[in-house]
Amino acid sequence: MTESQELGKFAEDTAAEYLLSIGWKVLERNHRNHYGELDIIAADTKAIPEELVIVEVRCRTIGKTQGALDSIGSRKLRALIRSSMEYVENIGWPGFWRIDVVAITLKGRNDAQDWELEHIRDITAGMNVSS
């Protein structure tokens, strides 16, 4: 496994553990469809009614590249929306759903001991995502 793959696995595992720690259910990981890959599909069990949440996981190292949140450009956002919409349609989800981001920033070069996690809810709030 390459260094980048190990970092990605660390980030996704950390994000999944975080979601479980706040009482959510992790339903699926690394779901692939025509438009791309969905990192984590979870149920926000604290929302009433329960909401389906597509979680994009981003991980970066300070000083090495742009920040984790800044790494979601318009092309990535469009693919994420399309992939999420296809998933929701295919499973016939009848309720509310949203896209969240869990961003993990490593403080030192490849130092999995010193990191910050930021959870941004509903990154498409207010956007017209019907197409």
In a domain? residue 127? no
User: So what's the pLDDT on residue 102?
Assistant: 96
Domain holding 51, by residue range, is 3-120
In a domain? residue 130? no
In a domain? residue 129? no
Using one digit for the tens of pLDDT, what is the confidence trace for 27-82?
Answer: 999 999 999 999 999 999 999 899 999 999 998 877 656 666 677 888 989 999 99
CATH number, domain at 27? 3.40.1350.10
- Which two tokens mark 26? 């992790």
Angle at 96 between CA 128 and CA 27, to 5 degrees: 115
Q: What is the mean predicted confidence (pLDDT) over 106-121?
A: 77
In a domain? residue 126? no
The DSSP code for 69 is: G
- pTM of the predicted model, to two decimals? 0.88
Using the predicted structure, report yes or no on whether residue 14 has a pLDDT greater than 50. yes
| CA–CA separation, 128 and 131 (whole Å) | 8
* Structural domain count of the chain: 1
In a domain? residue 125? no
In a domain? residue 17? yes
Cβ neighbourhood burial of 64 (10 Å; 0-12, 13-18, 19+): exposed
